[in-house]
A and B are shown apart, each in its own frame.
Chain A
Amino acid sequence: MSTTLPHSNQSDDSSAIGTSRVKRGMAEQLKGGVIMDVVNAEQAKIAEDAGAVAVMALERVPADIRKDGGVARMSDPNMIEEIIGAVSIPVMAKSRIGHFVEAQVLQSLGVDYIDESEVLTPADEVNHSDKWAFTTPFVCGATNLGEALRRIAEGAAMIRSKGEAGTGNVVEAVRHLRQIKNEIARLRGYDNNELFAAAKELRAPYELVKEVAELGKLPVVLFSAGGVATPADAALMRQLGAEGVFVGSGIFKSGDPAKRAAAIVKATTFYDDPKIIADASRNLGEAMVGINCDTLPEAERYANRGW
C-alpha cells in the first residue's frame, strides 16, 4: 500500500484505566517469579535485592498470625506507604474477605494488587468483595476450580492456590494446585452438553466454565501459595503447573532470609533443572520450623475460609 505513513506524534485520545486486560496483564508480568511477604521497608529491600517480582506488605507474616491469634486485619497505611517508598517493584497488600472498605483504603494508598486473603480474619461469611468495582486488580485464593471461577466471576484478575499459610508445609499447596489442575483437565474432555452440568456442579458461571474448557487453563494467571519454604518446594509447585509462587513466612522466618530468598528465586526460574535447584539449596541455614497440617485443628485452617 502506498498510503502516507501517519505522523508518529498522533495517538488515539481515548485511554482507559482499570480494564480487564490491564488488570490481568499485570499478573502476566509477574509470571515465573516469586512474590514475598514482608513486614517492613528493610525486608522489602532484601526481597527486591534477592530478585522478587513483587512484595506483599503485611503487619505480621502468617506464622505470627497463627501464634498470636486474635483478629488479623489490613495493615497500617503508614507501613504500607513506607514499603511502597522503599522499592520499585510492585507492592501488594491484603484485605479481609468481604471487607471492601479495607480494599478501598488499599486502592487509595496506590498498592498495585489487593489480596483478598483468607490469612486475615474474614469480615463477611457470605460475600466476597465486588472486585469489578475497583481499578486496582485483585488476587484471591482457591482450593478448587469452582472456588477459583467464583472469584474470577467476582472480578479477581489473578488466582493463587491457597495451601495452608504459615505452616512451612507444602502438602496443602500441592493438594489445592493438583485439585485445580485436575478439574481443568477433566473439563477438557467434556462435550458441550456436559459443560452445563459441570457449571452447576462447580457452582460457577457457564461462560467461564466453557472458557476454561476451551483454553485448558484459567483465563487469569495461576500462582501457588501457602507452605513454600525451600527452593525445591518452589520448583515443585512450578512443575505441578503454578505460573509463579508466593512465599510468606518461609523466607523471613528462616535463618538467612537474603540467601534463602535469592535461592527460591533461582529455583523458581530453573524449576526443571535439578542441578541448579541443588546448588540453590546448599547451606541455606535453618528453614522455618513448620507445622504438620494433620495436627492442625479444622478451626485453625485458613484454607477453609472463603466459599
Chain B
Amino acid sequence: MSTTPVIGVLALQGDVREHLIALAAADAVARPVRRPEELAEVDGLVVPGGESTTISKLATLFGLMEPLRERIAAGMPVYGTCAGLIMLADKILDPRSGQETFGGIDMIVRRNAFGRQNESFEAGVTVRGVEDGPVEGVFIRAPWVESVGAEVEVLAEHEGHIVAVRQGRALATSFHPELTGDHRLHALFVDMVRAGR
C-alpha cells in the first residue's frame, strides 16, 4: 500500500494550479476535484483561494455541498486559504444572500476584512506549529476570523486579528502560502492527512 496521501484541490474556481504544485512539493499526490465521485477518491481536500460567492454557488449547483459537508463531518482533513477559510467557517458575519459554507471550523469570519485590493499586502506571519521562522503571508482582499469556539486553536494573528486556525483535522489561513515558494503549511497539512488515514 502506498504511503503517499492523495489530496484533492477543489477546482470549481480559484488558484487551483498553485495548490496542486505546493502539495506535490510537499510529497502528496495532488489532483483537482470538481465532481462528487472525484471527492470520494481523495484522502484530504484543499479549498483554494478564489471568490467565495462563486465557489459557494458552483458547489451547490453541481451537487458538492452536501457530500463535502458529510466528508468534513466524518473527519476528512481539509485546508482552506482565503476564500477557502471562508468556506470552512461555520458562520459568515456578512454573507451575500444565499451564500453557504461547507463549515467544519467553529468560527465566525469577516469577508474582505483587511480591505479592498489597494490594501492587500504581504507580511511575515509567525504560525504556531511551523518552525524555522515566520511564513511569507500574502493577504489579498483577505478575510479575518472574528471569533472562535472553544475547540478551535488559534495558530496566528496579524495586527491583533486571527489569520490562521485549526480545529481537529481542519486547517485554515487568511493568507495564500500557495502563492509563495514556502510550502511549510502545505507540509503541515500533508502530515495531518497522513495521520488521519
List residues of A whose CB falls within 8 A of some B CB.
Answer: 1, 3, 5-12, 14-19, 21-22, 25-26, 28-33, 48-49, 51-54, 88-90, 107, 110-113, 135-137, 265-266, 269-270
Instruction: Find chain A residues with CB under 8 A from B119 CB.
Output: 17
A180 vs B13: C-alpha distance when bound (angstroms): 23
A6 vs B156: C-alpha distance when bound (angstroms): 10
Determine if B122 and A22 form an interchain contact, defined as CB atoms under 8 angstroms apart: yes
List residues of B whose CB falls within 8 A of some A CB.
Answer: 11-18, 34, 49-51, 53-54, 57-58, 61-62, 82-83, 94, 96-98, 111-112, 116-129, 131, 134, 138-141, 154-159, 176, 179-180
Task: Specify which of B11, B111, B121, B122 is in contact with A88 (CB 8 Å cutoff).
Answer: B111
Determine if B51 and A3 form an interchain contact, defined as CB atoms under 8 angstroms apart: no
A138, chain B: closest CB distance, angstroms: 11
Determine if B158 and A32 form an interchain contact, defined as CB atoms under 8 angstroms apart: no
Task: Specify which of B17, B34, B155, B176 is in contact with A25 (CB 8 Å cutoff).
Answer: B176
Known A-B contacts: A54-B51, A136-B117, A269-B58. Give 19 more (CB < 8 A). Answer: A1-B131, A5-B131, A8-B156, A8-B157, A11-B158, A17-B121, A22-B120, A22-B138, A26-B117, A28-B18, A29-B50, A33-B13, A48-B53, A51-B54, A90-B117, A135-B118, A266-B61, A269-B12, A269-B62
Instruction: Find chain A residues with CB under 8 A from B155 CB.
Output: 8
Judged by DSSP, the binding face of A is loop
A235 vs B130: C-alpha distance when bound (angstroms): 41
On whether A137 and B117 interact (CB within 8 A), knowing A29-B51, A30-B51, the answer reads: yes
A sample of 18 inter-chain contacts (CB < 8 A) reads: A3-B131, A8-B156, A9-B157, A11-B134, A14-B123, A15-B123, A16-B122, A26-B140, A29-B14, A29-B49, A32-B50, A49-B97, A52-B54, A53-B50, A88-B53, A112-B117, A136-B117, A266-B61
Instruction: Find chain A residues with CB under 8 A from B112 CB.
Output: 88
Look across to chain B and name the residue whose beta carbon is closest to the beta carbon of A91: B116
Judged by DSSP, the binding face of B is loop
A270 vs B12: C-alpha distance when bound (angstroms): 8
Determine if A8 and B128 form an interchain contact, defined as CB atoms under 8 angstroms apart: yes
Task: Specify which of B98, B111, B156 is in contact with A11 (CB 8 Å cutoff).
Answer: B156
A110, chain B: closest CB distance, angstroms: 5
A110 vs B123: C-alpha distance when bound (angstroms): 21
B18, chain A: closest CB distance, angstroms: 6
